[in-house]
Amino acid sequence: MKVVMVGCSHKETSIAVRERLAFSPEQVRDALVRHREKYPRREAVLLSTCNRTEFYVAGDDPEDEPSADQAIAFLAECRDVAVEAISDELTERVDIDAVMHLFRVAASLDSMVVGEAQILSQVKQAYEASCDVLEAMPISHAVFQRAIRTAKRIASETRIHERRISVPSVAISDLATQIFERFDDKNILVIGAGEMAEETLTYLAAQGAKRIRLVNRSRERAEKLAAKFGATVHPWEELIELLADADMVISTTGATEPIVTLERYRSIERRREQRILFVLDLAIPRDFDPAIGDCLNVYLYSVDDLQAQCDKNLRARKKELPKAERIVEDEAKRFLKEAEYRASAGTIRQLKEKADELKGIELERLFNRLEGLDERERKEIRYAFDRLVAKILHPPLESLRDDAAEPNHSSLIEAVRRLFQLRD
């Protein structure tokens, strides 16, 4: 069995090179079809995300083993770039190093943000795309299924995924939930309709938020976001009136000056009747005057406040890395042992078949010489022969099983084949 990985990621390759080697889903399929036509006896999986492109190739034919140079040349051909332009930029991993790397990738230990959940689904999709193109992929199936298992073990046995590390997720999961027990009865005001507002609303919707009002200078953009979350859109001029009725505010505009000054807030403060106001000012520069945070029952958080919590959570995630790495090593050893054992399965089968054949010949010769044996006596003799053969075969078979992960396993298989004169 031979497994090769060549690829690039955010860790060692510039974005310019990653862009040149990126594949769309349609291009992934086309590349896999081309690879199948060029190397029909090999397996291939192509993983392409915004942060990495990795090409995994596997085969078990000694006369057609994949190589890193061939994989690099194939990627260059698919992206219409010169091999020399990318070869020094790509990382190469072979056999167990390639397998362990995939385990780390699937478990998000190699991600830009350690512990992010999206990469596992991307690994699954890459494998499934290959299954759609290639009829049989026994090696890749074993490797990728073990990678998925490893990722799930790390998710369940460590706390690497528990702590939120994006500003919107921390804002809702770590802060808002400490102030509000429920969100379905809260009036939520969203100021701005950009990506930060959308991500924050995603987390709020997961918490059950329903009463969402949106204001934005561009009504068209606000209506697109409102349609996604069942929100209502209001004119920009109603901002302060909506603030008077809000329980929670998410502000993400690109304004150069505060859009809610202390004076403007004071104008509606009495109407709020001391109700709690939770404000997530995610804009830079800030949309809310910081002095508003000193007002009664106002909880005002800026991006800097939230980033400090994000950094704290990220440090907590990284503390889990040693435990996660031990799981990767454990799963890699198990995979290697199983793979080597599968490689010896043919030898074990031949050894048992030869023993059974010789046992049958000798039993027949013995029964022919011992006339007058009844069925009970014949059964006892067969049982004795079975036990004898089993005891003779036990040591070599046990060695093949128990030493499957040892470096000398292939030499052990060859020794067994020579000692018992097994032929292909």
HSE toward the beta carbon, residue 314, CA cutoff 13 A: 15
| Secondary structure, 3-state, 301-349 | EEHHHHHHHHHHHHHHHHHCHHHHHHHHHHHHHHHHHHHHHHHHHHHHH
The two three-digit tokens of residue 317, written as one number: 């995630």
Catalytic-residue membership of 50: yes
Name the DSSP class of 176: I
Dist CA 239 CA 188 (whole Å): 12
Number of other CB atoms surrounding residue 19 within 10 Å: 11
User: Residue 260: which of 275, 226, 277, 179 has the closest Cα?
Assistant: 277
What single-letter amino acid sits at 303?
V
Dist CA 285 CA 302 (whole Å): 10
Name the DSSP class of 396: H
Q: Using DSSP, state whether 289 is helix, strand or coil.
A: coil
Dist CA 356 CA 333 (whole Å): 33
Distance of CA 70 to the CA centre of its chain: 26
Q: Name the β-bridge partners of 2.
A: 59
287 to each of 40, 269, 290, 353, how far by Cα in Å? 60, 17, 9, 80
The H or E element containing residue 52 is strand 52-59
CB-count exposure of residue 380 (10 Å: 0-12, 13-18, 19+): exposed
Of 50, 78, 295, 310, which residue is the catalytic one?
50
The two three-digit tokens of residue 62, written as one number: 């000694």
Contact 32, 86 (CB under 8 A): no
Contact 218, 253 (CB under 8 A): no
Dist CA 244 CA 365 (whole Å): 102
Contact 170, 309 (CB under 8 A): yes
Dist CA 182 CA 186 (whole Å): 8
Q: Prior bond to 285 cis, omega within 30? A: yes
State the catalytic residues. 50
